[in-house]
Amino acid sequence: MTESPLPIAVLVSGAGTNLQALLDTVHGHEAEVVAVASGAPGALALERAAAGGVQTRVFERSDHADREARDEAMADWLVERGARLLVLAGYMELLSAAFLERFPDAVINVHPSLLPAFPGLHAIEQALAYGVKVFGVTVHFVDEGCDSGPVILQRSLELPDARDPGEVLQALRPIEHSLLPEAVRLFARGAVSADPRNPRRIVIAPQVGESS
């Protein structure tokens, strides 16, 4: 029997290239993007979602009493849409603890560094300032900290002569666009779990018929 696609929601703030990668790969297959939410009314990502026939809604902080009230309204809307996994795809705002409690172990983020190195904003600029030769992308679960949740997937790229943040970002984009859908696929088939001996360590179960 064919399983139904996993209903997911995507939170965005900018151009939405990672959202587009999800729409082009897992949407309508392993997952179904049922909602796209943003705090930025002019985000190009909202246009990408609308072009893909996905419901969108903007939750500006100025329209609510505080961040917690905004997050509660956004969580209510996402629950109404039936989302079982939330994907932060270039979402540039912190989420309240109360919001995360509405979606336990079901919020993931993509970050342009090999966490725990260079968390937070301007990760690529941080890495360049440090002088690293290897860059990378991390997909991780979201907790109340800043890019501090357990790591699901990582992939690295050697760029020994990199100087420009834009150049590094362009090199990392294909990795982001591959790794994020891969993490959604793994979550959809129930292959992602915490190691009982170390809850910070995420275990990926092999697919049936796949050698371990």
Q: Which residues of 97-133 are buried (b: 16+ CB within 10 A; e: fewer)?
A: eebbebbebbbbbbbbbbbebbbeeebbebbbeeebe
How far apart CA 88 and CA 169 sit, in angstroms, is 17
Residues noted as catalytic: 111
Neighbours of 196 (CB within 10 A): 8
Q: Which residues of 48-75 are buried (b: 16+ CB within 10 A; e: fewer)?
A: bbeebebebeebeeeeeeeeeebbbebb
How far apart CA 110 and CA 106 sit, in angstroms, is 14
Token look-up 């699901």 returns 152
Q: Which residues are bridge partners to 46 per DSSP?
A: none
Task: Write the CB contacts of 196 (distance below 8 Å, at least 6 apart in sequence).
Answer: none
Q: Are 49 and 27 in contact (CB under 8 A)?
A: no
- Rounded to the nearest 10°, the torsion over CA 115, 46, 5, 208 is -30
